[in-house]
């Protein structure tokens, strides 16, 4: 029987990780960004995922980001789903335990990248991680474009039925047939979340419960409203919001995530555009396109620099 997590729905944000001039995590800016998310209606916060450049963070840095996010979330009534995935089961377990110690509400576990495990290997990996943190909700993350392996629908459903604390999946395969197969066969309390902003509306129409979003870093209120409208069956409003945000959703992937989203947030005055190698600042053509879209959305009223 799947552990029940009724709160796992709506718009969640895959948070960026801001860096200071010294290259370290900018903790003050991180708190400010999390507070902004909560203030604009986001109630699911996802630190240390792909968008958070998690693979460039040390274990100590990840643990610190978990704690910062939890502290801010608790003050604002939000939940935290910590990204803990790696391509090593032992390392993933270590990170999941650190996340639990930091007080997170759930962990997000991406399929091991580069190794290209078989479906039995994926089952063994996720089962081992879930067993290492009993009682802590585990959300699978399927993003074949990043990992070079796909968590098949049958594998997701098998894990959902056999492992109590595997409670949901963030699906970014881009395969609607696969997502429908999961939704059709999943246990009653198992949650499906879109892992692609542009797929949020169609997946909710098919029965998904929400999104772990990139675009909500830039426009959290707008994305939360789109998701809420779709979940409430207000399809006209949801469609209008979807098409309004679609250019930004698409522009966020003109280059590797989180390059464009950090560039956009810098234009909005929300952070300094800093990355950790191997990521580098976006091309000027991408920046110009982002500026145009943000202007059309009416979110460039702030000065294009971070206030002191």
List residues with catalytic annotation: 141, 170
Distances (CA, A) of 85 to 1, 139, 161: 24, 11, 21
Would you list the DSSP string of 108-165? EEEPPTTT---HHHHHHHHHHHHHHSTTS-EEEEE-HHHHS----HHHHHHHHHH-TT
Rounded to whole angstroms, how far apart are CA atoms 35 and 72?
Answer: 7
For residue 82, the surrounding DSSP H or E stretch is strand 79-83
Rounded to whole angstroms, how far apart are CA atoms 305 and 300?
Answer: 11
Residue 75 in contact with residue 108, Cβ under 8 Å?
no
Residue 51 in contact with residue 214, Cβ under 8 Å?
yes
What are the residues facing 111 on neighbouring strands? none
Rounded to whole angstroms, how far apart are CA atoms 34 and 168?
Answer: 23
């Amino acid at each position: 029987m799947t552990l029940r997590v009724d709160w796992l729905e709506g718009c969640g944000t895959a948070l960026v990780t801001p860096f200071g001039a010294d290259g370290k995590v900018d903790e003050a800016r991180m708190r400010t960004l999390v507070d902004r998310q909560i203030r604009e209606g986001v109630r699911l916060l996802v630190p240390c995922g792909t968008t958070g450049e998690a693979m460039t963070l040390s274990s100590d840095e990840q643990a610190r980001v978990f704690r910062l996010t939890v502290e801010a979330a608790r003050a604002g009534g939000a939940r935290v789903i910590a990204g803990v995935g790696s391509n090593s089961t032992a390392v993933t377990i270590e990170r999941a335990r650190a996340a639990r110690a930091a007080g997170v509400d759930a962990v997000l576990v991406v399929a091991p990248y580069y190794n290209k495990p078989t479906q039995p290997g994926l089952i063994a990996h996720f089962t081992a991680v879930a067993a290492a943190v009993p009682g802590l909700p585990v959300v699978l993350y399927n993003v074949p474009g990043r990992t070079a392996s796909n968590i098949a629908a049958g594998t997701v459903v098998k894990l959902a039925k056999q492992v109590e604390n595997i409670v949901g999946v963030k699906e970014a395969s881009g395969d609607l047939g696969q997502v429908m197969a999961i939704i059709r066969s999943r246990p009653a309390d198992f949650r499906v979340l879109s892992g692609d902003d542009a797929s949020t509306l169609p997946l909710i129409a098919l029965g998904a419960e929400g999104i772990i979003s990139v675009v909500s870093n830039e426009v959290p209120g707008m994305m939360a409203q789109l998701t809420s409208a779709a979940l409430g069956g207000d399809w006209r409003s949801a469609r209008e919001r979807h098409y309004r945000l679609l250019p930004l959703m698409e522009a966020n992937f003109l280059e590797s995530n989180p390059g464009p989203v950090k560039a956009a947030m810098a234009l909005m005055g929300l952070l300094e555009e800093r990355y950790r190698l191997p990521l580098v600042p976006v091309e000027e053509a991408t920046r110009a396109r982002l500026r145009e879209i943000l202007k059309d959305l009416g979110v460039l009223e702030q000065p294009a620099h971070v206030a002191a």
